[in-house]
Structure 1
Amino acid sequence: MTLDAALIGRRIVVRHETGGVGLTGGPEMNDVIGHVTAVDGTSVTLELRDGRAADVALSTIVTWKTVPERPLRRRRAASVDAEELTRITSRGWPAIESVPLGDWELRASGNFTGRANSVAVTGSPRVPFDEALDRVQEFYAARSMPAQAQVVVGSSHERTFVDAGWIRKAGYFGGAVVQVADLEPAYEADPEARVTGRADDEWLAHYGRVDDPAHARAVMEGPAQVGFVSIGSPVVAIGRVVVTGQWAGLAAVEVVPAARRRGLARRVVETSLAWAVEHGADKAYLQTMRSNTAAIALYAPYGFVDHHDYVYLEPAG
């Protein structure tokens, strides 16, 4: 069998040369296991178990084969710690530019959303904290952007930043909540809903909050498995669903004012969950403002519960 686009969606293991020297003096080898998401003339892209993408150059591959799907060993959504979930949610809303600083992730996307234009603070920066702060501020200053950090409320990271003189971002004092749920196979997609892989102009117009469509599309269309839900012609309701690994992320549920209180938001959510399960997810998360009680009430019947809160911090002054 040829390693080509016909394998997209299949689970394979690839053994390839890393470019280093092995213990016996020969080429160093590495095995990568995941689902094929793309194949071109130079490389194959695999989605790993945790949702990360791994690109392997075809010229380095020594051997490969298809492997059976993993038996499902379900891990409850609520058991994941806040730092791991922060990394998972970041993969579902990927920045155009992502630069690691130890475990931290410096993200920049032309100021489209705070999540894609802040440093995601998890683990350790692997350098002294003062040096890490300098690098953060230099990164954003070089892009003419304000420095801001996404931190879990009540974490040691929040306390350390506050002790260094950082404060909650103006207009964001209430913070955001991350909710999670374990998924079931019983959701039904709405027969009138459409799910496509691209945010077209009409979808973006209903989403709003978009100054530069190119930046918005680069972020929202970034993951390998993403669906843009719309209902109606003309469109009256939208939503976005993404699957990375076993996790689904739900976002951007919007209904035009004239069509509210007709169950359209629920139909978007149900369609999104059905699509997520179909694409391999067994857990889901959402992120919304703590003050958005309507959104929290919308998701409650599907088993979503609070996991943690986060805020954005910025240097004082």
Structure 2
Amino acid sequence: MVRFDALVGQRVVVRSIVPGERGPSGGPALTDVIGRLLAHDGTTLRIQRRDGSEVEVDVAGVVAAKAVPQGPERIRPRPAMDHTPEELARICTRGWPPRVSTELGAWTLRASGGFTGRANSVAVHGDPGTSFVDALERVEAFYAAHDLPAKAQVIDETPWAARFSDAGWVGIGGTHDHAVVQVADLADVLARPLAPPPGPEVALRIEETLTESWLEAAERITSDVPQADVRHVLGSPPVVGFARVEGDAGIEAVARMVVTGEWAGLSSVHTLPHARRRGHAARLLEATARWASERGADKVYLQTMLHNAPALALYGRYGFVTHHTYRYVTPPPAR
């Protein structure tokens, strides 16, 4: 009998019976699922695949299950750049999960009380499964129902950018009008230690629980955003770490790293004004990269703004390269 309690949190391979199907030998058809075992309740296993997607397996149909190597012992199937912008956009959504999510064909409508553009826009990738005009009407209706402005996250390198532009949708303007998604293979990041050596003046910790002090240091608390939405977006992924650099006066810098399957996602890198130019961003990047690698990730993405030259320069020194760019667009003003 398989003891699933001992496998929770590990990377596993689970073989189970496919109901109603027969295999080549005439017996029951079998299928394998490989991924991290997130949880089980005695009847169902919840497994996270390499791309961060999740699947449920009926315990009654399981014929075998065992842990498989993770970390440096595994063979890497695909490098970071060997993913389409649409694939990576879906992975990014899993690392920044919205409070409410509705599928429209291959699009994902996301709402989280207005906390960040990523969690409150339709992720446009693939086909919506309906006409473009109908898709836009459904998008606007969805956001009206959630008392939010309609907004679309459109990848520049896809034909959808022109389709939205032709429909009159315009960029939101300001510094958040365009953004860049960069990626790197974690082995390359870890092979380039650049952070100042640790000293007695600072301590670096990574916690797996979102705290008020981390939120305050990250400047993620706003009076007009429901805190339940903030906490869901930042803290609900099964594998997430909240890193902090602490000095004599308290927290000086923070970052967040999430692991979904083989991908890690770095976000919320922020150094408080009084502690800048001390190498904290590099310390956080290296520490969270190691943390993610230990939890089975071998690729990492991050999202930043095109105008953020200092951040892009730092990430470039660790081997990050631009994968794609995107922008947020909104419907034309009502006449």
Q: Given the two structures, how large is their TM-score scaled by the length of structure 2? A: 0.86
Which sits farther off after the overlay, 216-225 or 179-188?
A: 179-188
Shift of 1:55: 2.7
- Distance in 1 (CA, whole Å) between partners of 2:311 and 2:4 is 42
Tell me how large the CA RMSD over aligned residues is.
Answer: 2.5
The letter of the residue matching 1:61 is: G
- Tell me which residue corresponds to 2:325: 309
The residue that corresponds to 2:282 in the other structure is 266
Which of 238, 258, 268 is the matching residue for 1:224? 238
Task: Note the residue ranges of structure 1 that are not aligned, 5 or more in a row.
Answer: none
1:196 to 207, 214, 223: 207
What's 2:308 paired with?
A: 292
Q: 1:16 to 1:105 in 2, by over 3 A?
A: farther
* Structure 1 contact 187–273 (Cα < 8 Å) conserved: no
Q: What is the Cα deviation at residue 245 of structure 1?
A: 1.6
Cα offsets for 1:170-219 (capped at 9, x unmatched): 43564101111122154779693111112200000011143333211111
Residues of 1 paired with 2:277 and 2:120: CA distance?
34
Distance 1:13 1:302, change over 3 A: same
Identity value in percent: 45
CA contact (8 A) 2:48 2:261 kept: yes
Instruction: Report the Cα distance in structure 2 between the residues aligned to 1:57 and 1:23, rounded to whole angstroms.
Output: 18
Partner of residue 45, structure 2: 44
Do residues 116 (structure 1) and 119 (structure 2) align?
yes
Distance 1:129 1:28, change over 3 A: farther
Matched, 1:94 2:97: yes
Give yes or no for contact 2:7–2:67 (8 Å, CA) kept in 1. Answer: no
| Structure 1 partner of 2:270 | 254
Relative distance call for 1:313 and 1:37 in structure 2 (3 A) is same
In 1, Cα distance between equivalents of 2:331 and 2:175: 14
Shift of 1:108: 0.9
Identify if the C-alpha distance between structure 1 residues 62 and 79 changes in structure 2 by more than 3 Å, giving closer, same or farther: closer
CA contact (8 A) 1:196 1:228 kept: yes
Per mean C-alpha deviation after superposition, the further-off stretch among 146-155 and 73-82 is: 73-82
Is residue 131 of structure 1 aligned with residue 134 of structure 2?
Answer: yes
Cα deviation for residue 151 of structure 1 reads 0.6
Structure 2 CA distance for aligned equivalents of residues 268 and 154 of structure 1: 31
Kindly indicate whether the alpha-carbon contact (under 8 Å) linking 1:12 and 1:34 is maintained by their aligned counterparts in 2: yes
Name the stretch that deviates more: 188-197 or 213-222.
188-197
Q: Number of paired residues?
A: 314
Contact kept? 1:4, 1:40, Cα under 8 Å: no
- Alpha carbons of structure 1 residues 173 and 278: separation in structure 2 relative to 1, 3 Å: closer
State whether residues 239 and 268 of structure 1, in contact with CA within 8 Å, keep that contact through their aligned partners in structure 2.
Answer: yes
